[in-house]
Amino acid sequence: MARAATTSDVFNAIAEPQRRDILVLLRTGERPATTVAEELEMSQPGASKHLRVLREVGLVHDRRAGKQRLYSLDARGLRSVSEWIGGFEQFWNESFDRLEAYVQELKKEDRSTSR
């Protein structure tokens, strides 16, 4: 099944590395688009475009402050990503348990052959 358009799907929105960089930057507080662009060394129109996409999927909010529009992170929008990743937790735990059992078996074999 095909994914929804980037402008309505959190997964597609965060697939873009620069958008993830913006989210990381906004964790430390709100910023205007010009500051986002400067701090991430991207063009101002590019930063504005990415911020618009992030706002449309609910990961970023904006508010007017004088002539500027300040952007802030809304991590609640990442809940669907967190839940999806959480679905793999049992898989990874079982994989690590099998790996640990294998390593312990190797250690046991190594001790018995070195005697």
pTM above 0.85, yes or no: no
List pLDDT tens digits, range 53-109: 999 999 999 999 999 999 999 999 899 898 889 889 888 889 898 999 999 988 888
Mean pLDDT value across the chain: 90
CA end-to-end span of the chain: 58
**What number does CATH give the domain 10-73?**
1.10.10.10
Lowest mean pLDDT among 1-5, 30-34, 65-69: 1-5
How would you list the strands of the sheet with 31-32, edge to edge?
31-32, 68-73, 60-65
Domain layout of the chain by residue ranges: 10-73, 78-114
Confidence of residue 8 (pLDDT cuts 50, 70, 90): low
